[in-house]
Structure 1
Amino acid sequence: MKRVVILGRGGAGKSTLAITLGAATGLPVVELDKHFWGPNLEPTPPNRWADVQGELADAEQWIMDGDLGPYDVLAVRLQRADAVILLDYSFPRCAWRALKRSRERFDFWVWVWSWRRKHRPQLLEAITTHAKDAELHVFRSPRATARFVAGA
């Protein structure tokens, strides 16, 4: 495992997992939110976002955390990944974590609410298409995720 993509609903703990997994494996962590959102929370245009990801994904080792929902261009980082982690936690768990973390925009809550029904199938299709040789790990609970990290 040298190039890991972490995906999941907002509030699932993708960044926390990336930091924990990075400490356990020694892999550098790339928090995609820091590269994607502008100073006034404006999204990076898709073509530019693909270029930025291409530059980040050129490195030999990394953990990239971030699921940017309808704004995302997944293919670039998935094509380079050798492992994909999908945090498939419940809406109540993620909503509670997001509420504790900060105030969010309305479109964030629409994405979080519709994630399992609308966005999860799109993610799984993108993974199948662009990361077919990568190991896929789907975790439905923090306990399952912790067991995985303990074995990393």
Structure 2
Amino acid sequence: MAVDNGINGVLHGKYELGRQLGHGTFARVYHARNVHTGTHVAMKVVTKEKVIKAGMMEQLKREISVMKMVQHPNIVELHEVMASKTKVYFALELVKGGELFSKIEKGKLREEVARSYFQQLISAVDFCHSRGMKKVV
């Protein structure tokens, strides 16, 4: 991947991007490492042009403001946001174990596993609702 504002492949002089972890309509997510601290993060790279064409820039801004406010053990932490002319970069907590959707797609979960996931999910939703975040962005 070409890195905007990169010096020797280092994003904004701070993050070295590694392998791609996933992708969606507007973004790709990469494993990244902070070259100063050694901290590993998930770097979500959003293409501004795609977001603008879809009329979703305000939603992206809301996502950033909500993520900055939320700190909960069952919600991925936003470490920082950076931007270039063409991209927005979210340095996110790197969560091991993969996506919940992928685990569900593989088939039926054992009851105790499903219960644990459900409790974590409900805890996160309750936390957001208790802080007035009721609309899904």
- Structure 2 length normalisation: TM-score? 0.28
- Structure number having the greater helix percentage: 1
Q: Which has the larger radius of gyration?
A: 2
Higher relative contact order (Cα pairs below 8 Å, separated by 6+ residues): 1
- Structure number having the greater strand percentage: 2
